[in-house]
């Protein structure tokens, strides 16, 4: 079974620039999550999709972050404009909807904002 | 006070030792408790998943939840160098949503 795919793996940008990350979940997984993991901290949930609808985006900084999940499959997370404090690993995870809500994580995109 | 706290580590143990990793939390609404392992430059992978209080065992891993004390633990028996990673606890009040992660404990098992 193929895992969660993310791209790019690394990105370096200057502050005030924009950046986009892409995630392809495991086939058949209805739920998709985006997390931000700052160095030395645990992942923080940014947004959760159920199919192509948003379940929880309470911690998404909506003035600069946006996310979409077209057709309930792939998802993109965008930051515009980026700030220095956005330097982090952005993790995508997916899960089935069912008795065992196991999240499977992708390898993450490591973002450095200079 | 942070919602979920973990001993920051790093924790170094010799191969074969029993390892105890712990988390405390403040939100009494948490009902679902998870432990993840994260290798360097990889995404977290689920190790254990428990609901409410009690113990759960899977091979060399045992998870304990004490909701009255707001305290959860992960025990690793016969630790191996391949167990060297960061261990994250996570919890949620609702089934399948509102997950909150701890900051993680870095473990090194020395051969």
| Cross-chain CB nearest to B46 (options A31, A102, A108) | A102
Q: What is the mean pLDDT of chain A?
A: 92
Give residue A52's pLDDT: 84
Percent of all residues in chain A with a pLDDT value above 70, rounded to a whole number = 96
* CB atoms B98 and A45 under 8 Å: yes
pLDDT digits (tens, 9 = 90+) for A29-85: 999 999 999 998 999 999 999 888 998 899 999 999 999 998 889 999 999 999 999
Place of tokens 């993450």: A108
| Cross-chain CB nearest to A101 (options B42, B43, B96) | B96
> Could you tell me the pLDDT band of residue B8, with boundaries at 50, 70 and 90?
confident
Res. A98: pLDDT tops 70 = no
**Cβ-based contacts of B93 with chain A (< 8 Å):** none
Give residue A1's pLDDT: 62
Burial of residue A71 (CB within 10 Å: 0-12, 13-18, 19+) is exposed
Give residue A81's pLDDT: 96
* CB atoms A42 and B45 under 8 Å: no
* CB atoms B43 and A108 under 8 Å: yes
Point out which residues pair with A86 in neighbouring strands. none
At a CB cut-off of 8 Å and minimum separation 6, what does A58 contact?
Answer: none
Q: What is the DSSP string of A33-96?
A: EEEEE-TTS--EEEEEEETTEEEE-TTS-TTTEEEE-GGGS-EEEEESS--GGG-EEEEEEEE-
Half-sphere exposure of B47 (CA within 13 A, CB side): 27
Give residue B52's pLDDT: 84
Cα end-to-end span (Å), chain A: 37
**Cβ-based contacts of B100 with chain A (< 8 Å):** 45
User: Which tokens go with B18?
Assistant: 């029993």
pLDDT digits (tens, 9 = 90+) for B33-91: 999 999 998 999 999 988 888 899 999 999 999 999 999 999 999 999 999 999 999 99
> Could you tell me the pLDDT band of residue A99, with boundaries at 50, 70 and 90?
very low
Nearest to B103 by CA among A41, A49, A94: A41
């Amino acid at each position: 079974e193929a895992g969660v795919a993310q791209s790019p793996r690394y990105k370096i940008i200057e502050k005030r620039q924009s950046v986009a990350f892409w995630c392809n979940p495991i086939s058949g997984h209805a739920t998709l999550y985006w997390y931000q993991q700052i160095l030395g901290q645990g992942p923080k949930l940014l947004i959760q999709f159920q199919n192509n609808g948003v379940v929880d985006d309470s911690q998404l900084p909506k003035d600069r972050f946006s996310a979409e999940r077209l057709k309930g499959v792939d998802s993109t997370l965008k930051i515009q404009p980026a700030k220095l404090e956005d330097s982090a690993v952005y993790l995508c995870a997916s899960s089935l909807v069912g008795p065992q809500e196991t999240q499977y994580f992708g390898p993450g995109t490591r973002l450095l904002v200079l | 006070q942070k919602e979920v706290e973990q001993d920051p580590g790093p924790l170094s143990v010799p191969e074969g030792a029993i390892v105890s990793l712990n988390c405390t939390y403040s939100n009494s609404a948490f009902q679902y408790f998870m432990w993840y392992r994260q290798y360097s430059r990889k995404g977290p992978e689920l190790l254990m998943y428990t609901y409410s209080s009690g113990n759960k065992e899977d091979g060399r891993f045992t998870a304990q939840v004490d909701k009255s004390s707001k305290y959860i633990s992960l025990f690793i028996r016969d630790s191996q160098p391949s167990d060297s990673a960061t261990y994250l606890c996570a919890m949620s009040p609702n089934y399948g949503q509102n997950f909150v992660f701890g900051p993680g404990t870095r473990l090194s098992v020395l051969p």
